[in-house]
Structure 1
Amino acid sequence: MNRLLPLALAFVAAVPISAHAQQIPAPKIVVVGEGESSIAPDLALLSLTVMREAKTAGEALDASSAAMKQVIAAVKETGVEARDIQTGGLQIIPRYTYTSKPDGSQEAQLVGYQASNTLSVRVRDLQKTGEIIDTAVSLGVNQSSGISFTNDDPSKALTESRKKAIADAVARARTLSEAAGVQLGRILEINEQTFVAPPVPIAAKTFDARESVPIEPGMNAYRVQVTVTLELR
């Protein structure tokens, strides 16, 4: 019995050493790849505002509403569908003048109201964008928060960007592994970050009906960044 005891202890002691060896993580490499695809926009987003001033809030609202009804009707006549026309905001603001008093304070006097009615329009035929703006201005639109261009369905561009990003990440990993004298193994993990190009705005302005409205939609870029983890052999 005494001869078998050292062998039993040796076997028991070997078990935790083997388990510890299995917990050692395999070597790996983490790389970042990027891909980008650009496509022409197919959707223009317009924000058109009618602003009117009057002595009372009701008068100001009636005036802006009447002008906006004409704008909506004219926009629909250009071929824009009802689903692409939406009221974007309605605001009534009192206007004051301020006079200085002998004690240094200021006295506010109500002089009228300002009513603003904003219309959001999606234009799917980009060639009509300038025409719609010209028509809206002629009917009373006197403010805008800008024009922007986007894509109704950018999925194909995003798919292409993802493929480019993965290819870029693998190529980087291959270059690094070759320089280090090791071989790449299987992909362990992929994480994606998508940078969808927001609509590119044209600066907000107050319209002048005498101005021409040249429209240049340009291109929209869709970028994807992936973080890829691979085994090293």
Structure 2
Amino acid sequence: MRYTAAVLAALFCICGAVVVVTALTPTPTVDTATADHLIRTSAVGEVVSSPDRAEIQIGVETENVDVQAAQSQNAERMTNVTNAMKALGIPDDHLTTTGYTVTPVYDTGPTPVPLSLGQRKPTTYRVSNTLLVRVDDVARAGVVIDTAAASGANQINSIAFLFSEQKGATLRAQALAQAVNQTRTDAGTVASALGVRLLDAREVQVDSGATPIVYDSRTGTAADTAIPSTPIQPGTLKVTASVQVAWAYA
């Protein structure tokens, strides 16, 4: 009998432990939002602001019957342009050579000798050198153009206005927040109409960008257009962010 009583006592303790453990185990919650319970919405955020950076393509073109003379003349003039840019306070890493070509120029008379005959020789050689100048203060773009022309540049190929990395990132964040808020508002409207409760976002797809303003003036030359205080109007740029969100509901 003592043995039986001990066994019963042990069993009672074990059962009690089981009861206690079971009581402390939380009741699992069932998430009713599944892949079939999603509201998909999309929106585009848009922020407009003035650009804070300009990129100017400045060119020097020379031509001579002697190719080495054409190259030497070009090098001298481009060196003057580069030094003038540095004198304006533009750092070296804002000056980039983007193109350099040496092109033979052939006679374009009424009856030129065909190149296939091997008898046609160039009359002159044209050398072109292009320098990309990055200006972090767009208000100085006109001064840069005037200075380049005065120091030997004879081509202003294009001017592009854009955002710096810091400003672009700030505006992109604003556009994204605007787009996400709109998708949430739209999803809430749909959920209310359906009589369901909107939960959290389950899927997100983002696409964003900004298009720079580019003014192309390759048909002209700096000598033709560069006058004191050349007026430059940068206008405004638009940053957009497109967002697609799948919102769960229950």
| TM-score range for the pair, normalised by the shorter chain length | 0.7 to 0.9
Instruction: Give me the TM-score of the superposition, normalised by structure 1.
Output: 0.81
Whether contact under 8 Å (1:33, 1:169) holds in the other structure is yes
Alpha-carbon deviation of 1:227?
0.7
Gaps of 5+ in 2: 1-31
Instruction: Give me the TM-score of the superposition, normalised by structure 2.
Output: 0.76
Distance 1:183 1:134, change over 3 A: same
The one-letter code matched in structure 2 to 1:229 is A
Per-residue CA distance 1:157-200 (angstroms, 9 max, x = gap): 111111101001111212223333433222111111112x2321
**Distance in 2 between the 1:192 and 1:218 partners?**
27
Alignment partner for residue 198 of structure 2, among 184, 187, 191?
184
Indicate yes or no: 2:131 matched with 1:119.
yes
Indicate yes or no: 2:171 matched with 1:157.
yes
**Distance in 1 between the 2:199 and 2:208 partners?**
26
Rg: which structure is higher?
Answer: 2
**Distance in 1 between the 2:90 and 2:112 partners?**
54
Q: Secondary structure at the match of 2:238?
A: strand
The one-letter code matched in structure 1 to 2:190 is L
The aligned residue for residue 221 of structure 1 is 238
The aligned residue for residue 111 of structure 2 is 100
Which structure shows the bigger proportion of residues in strand conformation?
1
The aligned residue for residue 67 of structure 2 is 57
Query: What is the CA RMSD across the aligned residues, in angstroms?
Result: 2.4
**Distance in 2 between the 1:227 and 1:220 partners?**
23
**Distance in 2 between the 1:138 and 1:130 partners?**
12
Distance 1:54 1:102, change over 3 A: closer
Count of aligned pairs: 209
Whether contact under 8 Å (1:41, 1:220) holds in the other structure is yes
Q: Secondary structure at the match of 2:235?
A: coil
**Distance in 1 between the 2:99 and 2:35 partners?**
57
**Distance in 2 between the 1:109 and 1:102 partners?**
9
Gaps of 5+ in 1: 1-21
The aligned residue for residue 149 of structure 2 is 137
Whether contact under 8 Å (2:62, 2:128) holds in the other structure is yes
Q: Secondary structure at the match of 1:140?
A: coil
The aligned residue for residue 42 of structure 1 is 52
